[in-house]
Amino acid sequence: TRKPLRAAATAPLMIRALDQTRSLGPNSQRAKKAKRGGLNENLAREMLELHTLGVGAEYDQRDVTELAELLTGMSYKAGEGFRFRPDWSEPGAETVLGVSYGGASMASLADIEAALEDLALHPSTGEHLARKLAVHFLGDTPDSGLVASMAAAYRDSDGLLTEVYRAMLDHPAAWTGPGNIKQPVDFVGSGLRALDARDLPLRRQKIMQLMFVKPLALMGQPWEQPDGPDGWPEADDDWITPQRLAGRLQWALNVPPVLADPLPDPRDFVEMALGGDVPEPLRFAAKAAESRAEGIAIILGSPAFQRM
């Protein structure tokens, strides 16, 4: 987790989106010459609320401000990537969650990295990430024992995510819940895999718009345009609304005949698409479909296929 956290914090796109390039230490060397600019807390708040501890953890505004002061100096340069500007950094020590960082005469990137490492290994980070992973993969209300087991694996392995995944998959509750509703991009991706669609019209912009970009927007997930920095919502109710469900059904009816010629027999496709775990009403509907296109649409639009 430490490396992904550092990568996220120093990513030029993250720094630009959160206006970190304009975050200026109030007492920095640069501040003495600058006519405008000041401390920006956006990146610090995101690091605490989204990437590590979570909104409900025990930290306060002072922690946010001191972390923001510690992060001053982080920037990027077009064509080169991340860079650190000591003359923009707030001098002196900063205290985050009771731990002091920095204090030398010259600000150092190593002090920032030390703070990020401590945040990555904080117990609240393990609990926050364990629940987020469980919700993403297993459902809106994951088993509390499973989440606790994942958090313990995070703590015991010093934040090794592969061990967290192992704890999730080894827990019996991972295999008994209803599962999550697929987000639109996952629904489309799993539909393409089930159809074994290989020759996608990637170089034909108009076709890609009609077959993928516009349908994803109708399903509620416009390409690369989430509502906020926390990404797409996880709750099932956010995805299964009348309009968004209609978008899924339209895609299931209109797109497969274009990508798969000939279409597979629905009686075979339903077994392959759902891995043999097929509800009997759906198996009957696949056999009774009046055409292959309708049969494929019924399968892809079924509640069973909508869940991960």
Per-residue pLDDT of 203-215, as tens digits, reads: 788 888 999 999 9
3-state SS, residue 176: coil
pLDDT of residue 3: 87
Residue 64 corresponds to which tokens in the numbers above?
């946010």
Q: Which residue in 108, 280, 109, 155 sits closest to 302, CA to CA?
A: 280
Here the tokens at position 61 are 């505004």
Predicted pLDDT at 178:
80
Q: Which stretches of the chain score pLDDT less than 50?
A: none
pLDDT in the model for residue 36: 66
What span, in angstroms and rounded, lies between the C-alpha atoms of 212 and 208?
5
Q: What's residue 37's pLDDT? A: 65
pLDDT value of position 239: 93
Give phi and psi for 106, each to the nearest 5. Answer: -115, 130
